[in-house]
Chain A
Amino acid sequence: MPGSVVTSDSLLAVDVGTVSTRAALFDVVEGCYRFIASGQAPTTSGAPLKDLGEGARQAIENLQTITGRTFLGEDRHLIVPIKEGKGVDAFAATFSAGAAVKTVVVGLLNDVSIESTQRLARTIYSRVVDTIGLNDKRKPEQQIDSIVRLRPDLILVGGGTDNGATRSVQHLLETIGLACYILPPENRPALLFAGNKNLAEEIKSSLQNLTLSLSISSNLRPALETEDLQPAQIALAKLYTQIRRSQMGGVDELNSWAGNSLMPTAHAEGRIIRFLSQVYDSSKGILGVDVGASAATIAAAFGGELTLGVYPQLGLGEGLASLLRYTNLNEILKWIPLDIPAETVRDYIYQKSIYPASLPATPEDLAIEQALARQTLSVAFNTLEKDFPRQINRAAPGLAPYFEPILACGSVISRAPTLGQSLLILLDAIQPVGITTVILDQNNLLAALGAAASRNSILPVQILESGAFLGLATVVSPYTTVRPGTPILTGRLVYQNGNESQIDIRQGALEVLPLPVGQSGRLHLKPLHHTDIGLGPDNTHDAGFPVTGTALGLVIDARGRPLHLPSEPARRHETIKKWLWTLGG
């Protein structure tokens, strides 16, 4: 193995979630980076400790017990770098704990800088509480009163093209400055300016002393037709850490252990998805999804360009009660294969929001939890999908773009009782099209790899290829407009040993062909009746497609895109149960 490209560094990565804090250890084994083990503890960012450092230490201590190694000194401080055989060479940390950051978005025009600034806000755990722009009918003093009343943690300002007019932005900034002046010093927000670069110096001199922390980034809309969120995203991720410093203890310590590289979990997940998109140079996109207690996060990268969406209002924890503002009970109920009344689902949602760390203990509760995961993921994906680049390939308008692979994390998916349940949640919510590999991040490593990627680009690639992630299934999702029952796909799966399985798929079917981990094969497909498997109607590769073994094997999801569920409850329940049974229960 290419030992020469691997520095013999061990890496300890901690992710502080809303409910749990996890510590993961990576080290070099036989010349390659490997995931060694992980430890877990309850997050302690809230009362009574209000210090996320304690949860991090407990997770690391748990990891010490598992591995028999020592990472913390007697004073419970991390030993980094290694001294006398104790500690680690490098440390990375990510966090998503805490309530969503209350954010005011400021820009000029609704469909230009305000839209871009809102997109920027969606790249961290934020909740936009007000939007101020040129088309705002309120008087400046009403805008001031709104900010004073809402007490935002963060104000994001975009607007003005570089070297363009400055007067309108200056007017808005005057309003923001006055509001900040009125607020008590301890309640002043952090502010990120990502507008006309000619205003940067003026903003520094006028707002530096009126904000918790001021950050100036390059313009997210340097020209009317150009949007460049990436520099502002990086600046915002740093500013997010500053905001959290003032809200919870332990942030400084964790940041110091991490060499000032502590970052929001979603930002790290976005980084690794973008990184993989660059490394693998795929003509398709790479998709990462994370359904957690703090938020639903979607990261999609096409040719190295990342689209990131963080939706705290769609998290499965404390904020769950707000889900019903974005969807309705029927949309959740439709995914439940049991006869459960709508009131029970409503009660479940509110009870879970009181006890966000609690787990479904009955089959009925599990069915509700997984239905909620489907619906939150579906709403989050369809919301972010509107921001995907326009030129990307899809089988038809309104369908998901082609992805390879899809990476999924979040306990509700990655630790579902069966792998079939994990896969069906993802297929139902995302409804991928074409041929894709679905990978499960069962050890919640994605954010750690994103945090590590900037300082060690070998580690993420080797970890991804090491088996630390579970290859769940290779999924073929054909798109066709023919009636259910019509033959749409024929072909064969040729195994390594020469054996073959015949494939004859009718529209509406969900079928599985076993191809265990460690084996490989070649898939020959012939689309019928203008069916599209991601190459255009009726197109295929004559030489077939290489397929590697996964936990569930080859899954052909011909249930239709978009997926239509039977409207009659009993039939719908039976259909979903049949799909689950097909995928192994």
Chain B
Amino acid sequence: MLAPVAHILPLTTVRRERMLPVPGRVTVRMEQKVNPLDVVAEANYGGEHLLIDAGHELGIRPQEAQRLIQVKAGDMLSQGDVLARRTGLGLQTVHAPASGRVILVGAGKILMEVGATAFELRAGMPGMVTRLMTDRGVEIKFNGALIQGVWGNGEINIGLLFPILTSPQEALVAARLDVSLRGSVLLAGTCSDPAVLQTASELPVRGLILGSMSPTLIPLASQVHYPIIVVDGFGQRPLNEIAYKLLTTSAKRETTLNAEAFDRQAGTRPEIFIPLPVTQEPPTPNEMESFAPDQAVRLTRDPHAGKVGTLVSLPPGLVAIASGLRVAAAEVRLDSGEQFLVPLANLEVLV
């Protein structure tokens, strides 16, 4: 049976496509080294539009107005430029209300795009450009540690990792944040206090990694300008042991947070990158796995949510669990030696 997969890896190679939402221009070259905040492509995106009804302005029929229009699609105009002019006794002129580009002209109307803003696509990860997709984006290759999360606030940044927890379940409080943490990427267990996010914003920090977060913080966390990545889920769940060990042993390393939204259809997840030097390129992790013995698995739901164990066996058929449901399940053993049945639906294979 196909299994959901998440990556928590001390050393791996990953390739990620970074794509513009609309066609634009790629600004990097092949094999160029990039940092997470580097712009790799840009496009004009989402300008506002103006629809000027020349016929209405001139008080004439659309067909007549169409003949008087003096601009065409593609023209760049400055504010005040003449769009249409009616000569003779009733001299009247229609001017461009703002600077911009003519998109379309027809039926006595002019559609203009004004105030187009440049959209800059950032690399989102450190690495090397390994593929260029004309007008659309790039592929970037990364070597190092990779930790995927389950929730991100959409921001990207890079900084030195600073663990501020003594155990995976330690709750982060605002008093723990002081000026010495300014510019760091913080690692903590759980958080349910809005003051933490506000104080971190004021310092400011370059990022925050949490094992879990109260869902009541989502609105605030979505507004702050530093990346927040939740690794294991919502509520008061400890940071899983593998991520805890990997991240706490990476203190003071340069760490990138790409807090992209978790989108199953698109295949995007929030990701933490810690670049490491390699002499030989480590293998790329599998994106697809079937459940099998000896796999490392993360338990996603209570009573063991956030725990990491080893899949021991896959009993045939359906088995009854404590809730009374009969489900396909796996026997899972934790590091503590504790062993129990877990619904396959509540497991994620860590590779």
A361 & B265 in contact (Cβ 8 Å cutoff): no
B324 & A358 in contact (Cβ 8 Å cutoff): no
A351 & B2 in contact (Cβ 8 Å cutoff): no
- Tell me the bound Cα distance from A350 to B217 in angstroms: 12
Given the contacts A41-B1, A141-B48, A351-B234, A49 and B215 also touching, CB distance less than 8 Å: no
B48 & A98 in contact (Cβ 8 Å cutoff): no
Q: Which residues of chain B come closer than 8 Å to A247, judged between CB atoms?
A: 265
B346 & A358 in contact (Cβ 8 Å cutoff): yes
A361 & B302 in contact (Cβ 8 Å cutoff): yes
Minimum distance in angstroms from A342 CB to a CB of chain B: 11
- Tell me the bound Cα distance from A451 to B240 in angstroms: 45
A: number of interface residues (CB 8 Å): 52
A178 & B111 in contact (Cβ 8 Å cutoff): yes
Minimum distance in angstroms from B129 CB to a CB of chain A: 22
Option from B22, B234, B264, B323 in Cβ contact (under 8 Å) with A350: B234
Is A145 located at the chain interface by the 8 A CB criterion?
yes
Q: Give 1 or 0 for each of A362-387: 1 = CB within 8 Å of chain B CB.
A: 11111000000000000000000000
Is B179 located at the chain interface by the 8 A CB criterion?
no
Q: Give 1 or 0 for each of B37-69: 1 = CB within 8 Å of chain A CB.
A: 000000000101111000000000000000000
Q: Which residues of chain A come closer than 8 Å to B174, judged between CB atoms?
A: none
- Tell me the bound Cα distance from A402 to B324 in angstroms: 33
Q: Give 1 or 0 for each of A22-42: 1 = CB within 8 Å of chain B CB.
A: 000000000000000000011
A182 & B49 in contact (Cβ 8 Å cutoff): yes
Minimum distance in angstroms from B6 CB to a CB of chain A: 11
Is A514 located at the chain interface by the 8 A CB criterion?
no
Option from A48, A361, A417 in Cβ contact (under 8 Å) with B288: A48
Is B283 located at the chain interface by the 8 A CB criterion?
no
Minimum distance in angstroms from B118 CB to a CB of chain A: 17
Is B220 located at the chain interface by the 8 A CB criterion?
no
A347 & B343 in contact (Cβ 8 Å cutoff): no
B48 & A355 in contact (Cβ 8 Å cutoff): no
- Tell me the bound Cα distance from A347 to B237 in angstroms: 10
Option from B49, B107, B287 in Cβ contact (under 8 Å) with A48: B287
Q: Which residues of chain B come closer than 8 Å to A42, judged between CB atoms?
A: 1-2
Is A276 located at the chain interface by the 8 A CB criterion?
no
- Tell me the bound Cα distance from A148 to B215 in angstroms: 31
A148 & B49 in contact (Cβ 8 Å cutoff): yes
B51 & A347 in contact (Cβ 8 Å cutoff): no
Most B CB contacts (10 A, CB to CB) among A58, A178, A181 go to A178
B331-347 interface (Cβ within 8 A of A): 342-343, 345-346
- Tell me the bound Cα distance from A58 to B2 in angstroms: 9
- Tell me the bound Cα distance from A98 to B287 in angstroms: 20
Is B300 located at the chain interface by the 8 A CB criterion?
yes
Q: Which residues of chain A come closer than 8 Å to B322, judged between CB atoms?
A: 361-363
B215 & A350 in contact (Cβ 8 Å cutoff): yes
The residue in chain A whose Cβ has the minimal distance to the Cβ of B113 is: A182
Is B321 located at the chain interface by the 8 A CB criterion?
yes
- Tell me the bound Cα distance from A41 to B46 in angstroms: 41
- Tell me the bound Cα distance from A184 to B264 in angstroms: 24
Is A318 located at the chain interface by the 8 A CB criterion?
yes
A415 & B346 in contact (Cβ 8 Å cutoff): no
A361 & B234 in contact (Cβ 8 Å cutoff): no
Is B36 located at the chain interface by the 8 A CB criterion?
no
Q: Give 1 or 0 for each of B221-258: 1 = CB within 8 Å of chain A CB.
A: 00000000000011110000000000000000000000
Given the contacts A141-B48, A351-B301, A363 and B323 also touching, CB distance less than 8 Å: yes
A410-437 interface (Cβ within 8 A of B): 415, 417-418
Most B CB contacts (10 A, CB to CB) among A184, A187, A350 go to A350
Q: Give 1 or 0 for each of B300-339: 1 = CB within 8 Å of chain A CB.
A: 1111010000000000000001111111000000000000
Is B13 located at the chain interface by the 8 A CB criterion?
no
Is A354 located at the chain interface by the 8 A CB criterion?
yes
Q: Which residues of chain A come closer than 8 Å to B103, judged between CB atoms?
A: 181-182
The residue in chain B whose Cβ has the minimal distance to the Cβ of A139 is: B51
Q: Which residues of chain A come closer than 8 Å to B23, judged between CB atoms?
A: 184
The residue in chain B whose Cβ has the minimal distance to the Cβ of A44 is: B2
Is B91 located at the chain interface by the 8 A CB criterion?
no
Minimum distance in angstroms from A351 CB to a CB of chain B: 5
- Tell me the bound Cα distance from A417 to B113 in angstroms: 59
Q: Which residues of chain B come closer than 8 Å to A418, judged between CB atoms?
A: 324
Minimum distance in angstroms from B5 CB to a CB of chain A: 8
Most B CB contacts (10 A, CB to CB) among A149, A354, A364 go to A354
B233 & A365 in contact (Cβ 8 Å cutoff): no
B323 & A362 in contact (Cβ 8 Å cutoff): yes
Option from B150, B266, B325 in Cβ contact (under 8 Å) with A47: B266
The residue in chain A whose Cβ has the minimal distance to the Cβ of B235 is: A347
A141 & B49 in contact (Cβ 8 Å cutoff): yes
- Tell me the bound Cα distance from A140 to B51 in angstroms: 7
Is A46 located at the chain interface by the 8 A CB criterion?
yes
- Tell me the bound Cα distance from A365 to B104 in angstroms: 57
A359 & B1 in contact (Cβ 8 Å cutoff): no
B265 & A360 in contact (Cβ 8 Å cutoff): no
Is A45 located at the chain interface by the 8 A CB criterion?
yes
Minimum distance in angstroms from B280 CB to a CB of chain A: 25
Is B216 located at the chain interface by the 8 A CB criterion?
yes
Minimum distance in angstroms from B288 CB to a CB of chain A: 6
Q: Which residues of chain B come closer than 8 Å to A350, judged between CB atoms?
A: 215, 218, 233-235
B262 & A354 in contact (Cβ 8 Å cutoff): yes
Q: Give 1 or 0 for each of B1-40: 1 = CB within 8 Å of chain A CB.
A: 1101000000000000000001100000000000000000
B266 & A178 in contact (Cβ 8 Å cutoff): no
A354 & B301 in contact (Cβ 8 Å cutoff): no
- Tell me the bound Cα distance from A362 to B107 in angstroms: 66
- Tell me the bound Cα distance from A44 to B265 in angstroms: 9
Is B151 located at the chain interface by the 8 A CB criterion?
yes
Q: Which residues of chain A come closer than 8 Å to B325, judged between CB atoms?
A: 359-361, 366, 415, 417
Is B267 located at the chain interface by the 8 A CB criterion?
yes
Q: Which residues of chain B come closer than 8 Å to A347, judged between CB atoms?
A: 214-215, 234-236
Q: Give 1 or 0 for each of B273-294: 1 = CB within 8 Å of chain A CB.
A: 0000000000000011000000
B300 & A358 in contact (Cβ 8 Å cutoff): yes
Most B CB contacts (10 A, CB to CB) among A58, A357, A360, A418 go to A360
Is A349 located at the chain interface by the 8 A CB criterion?
yes
Minimum distance in angstroms from A583 CB to a CB of chain B: 14
Option from B111, B218, B323, B348 in Cβ contact (under 8 Å) with A361: B323
The residue in chain B whose Cβ has the minimal distance to the Cβ of A46 is: B264
B288 & A346 in contact (Cβ 8 Å cutoff): no
A181 & B104 in contact (Cβ 8 Å cutoff): yes
Q: Give 1 or 0 for each of A163-176: 1 = CB within 8 Å of chain B CB.
A: 00000000000100
Option from B51, B215, B305, B324 in Cβ contact (under 8 Å) with A366: B324
Q: Which residues of chain A come closer than 8 Å to B214, judged between CB atoms?
A: 343, 347
The residue in chain B whose Cβ has the minimal distance to the Cβ of A585 is: B324
Option from B48, B233, B266 in Cβ contact (under 8 Å) with A351: B233
Is A321 located at the chain interface by the 8 A CB criterion?
yes
Given the contacts A351-B233, A417-B323, A47 and B301 also touching, CB distance less than 8 Å: no
Q: Give 1 or 0 for each of A90-105: 1 = CB within 8 Å of chain B CB.
A: 0000000011000000
B2 & A358 in contact (Cβ 8 Å cutoff): no
B302 & A362 in contact (Cβ 8 Å cutoff): yes
B324 & A363 in contact (Cβ 8 Å cutoff): yes
Q: Which residues of chain A come closer than 8 Å to B301, judged between CB atoms?
A: 351, 355, 358-361, 365
- Tell me the bound Cα distance from A364 to B49 in angstroms: 53
Q: Which residues of chain A come closer than 8 Å to B268, judged between CB atoms?
A: 47
Q: Give 1 or 0 for each of B96-129: 1 = CB within 8 Å of chain A CB.
A: 0000000110010001010000000000000000
Q: List 12 A-B contacts (CB under 8 A).
A: A46-B264, A141-B50, A181-B103, A248-B265, A346-B216, A347-B235, A354-B151, A355-B346, A358-B345, A359-B325, A361-B302, A361-B321
Contacts A181-B103, A358-B301 supplied; 12 other A-B pairs, CB < 8 Å: A46-B264, A47-B268, A48-B288, A140-B51, A141-B50, A149-B46, A182-B49, A347-B236, A350-B218, A359-B325, A359-B327, A361-B343
State the 6 A-B residue pairs at the shortest beta-carbon distance, nearest first: A47-B267, A417-B324, A347-B235, A350-B234, A48-B287, A366-B323
Contact surface of B with A, Cβ cutoff 8 Å: 1-2, 4, 22-23, 46, 48-51, 103-104, 107, 111, 113, 150-151, 214-216, 218, 233-236, 262, 264-268, 287-288, 300-303, 305, 321-327, 342-343, 345-346, 348
